Copies of this chain bind each other. A is one copy, B any other.
């Protein structure tokens, strides 16, 4: 809670106006980048001081983050960064396969040239970043691809659901990535997907997405943690004072 306060404070001094949406964005991003590990306490006053606003604004932001499944907000208790279980991780991936597969199928053959070019550019950017061993940049490009799919979904309801699922899977990927793994890059997956989209082959696009997500999930370490996590959650101390 000490180091990142300073980081955010710096960002705050640069930008002048702070609203609840800014707080949501910054916290979401910090969770995604693992600067705020799961279980981190997020007291309202502290956050208020960090962002230079009062508790009212922070409270609204926290409620929103809770509805995005980023933080856990329980009555009379400090909000904490959520730690999705292994089971929930599997379920989130399954849900995303279903939804993103459908979105890709709907999108097949219906992408305008500009959007397709934009997607292709991001895909190129991803392989290039991977070549440079620049994993953060690679992740940005990869996320951009999937977010573009969500944005352009002909079905906006599914698109919004997909946006949520992309965030949630990103969080659990960061959480459960095998530590020895340098990158979660799956060579050619995105290119193949774009090809299927361009050719208008809906089923190929759907299966391309689904296989891609299955491979991604397989890269994670989802072996049961000998109930250590459960014990932590139940009698848990010893994580927040670090």
Copies of the protein in its oligomer: 2
Q: Across the interface, which residues of B come within 8 angstroms of A157, CB to CB?
A: 88, 91-92, 94-95, 168
Q: Given the interface contacts A98-B98, A99-B98, does A91 sit within 8 Å of B158 by beta carbon?
A: yes
Closest to A106 in B: B94
Q: Across the interface, which residues of B come within 8 angstroms of A158, CB to CB?
A: 91, 94-95, 98
Interface presence of A122 (CB below 8 A): no
Among A42-50, A59-67, A141-149, which stretch is in contact with chain B? A59-67
CB neighbors of B among A162-193 (8 A): 168
CB neighbors of B among A204-226 (8 A): none
**Interface contact B60-A95, CB-CB below 8 Å:** no
Q: Given the interface contacts A99-B98, A102-B98, A161-B161, does A156 sit within 8 Å of B63 by beta carbon?
A: no
**Interface contact B161-A91, CB-CB below 8 Å:** no
**Interface contact A155-B63, CB-CB below 8 Å:** no
* Nearest 8 Cβ contacts at the A-B interface: A67-B67, A91-B157, A95-B157, A91-B155, A95-B158, A92-B157, A63-B63, A98-B102
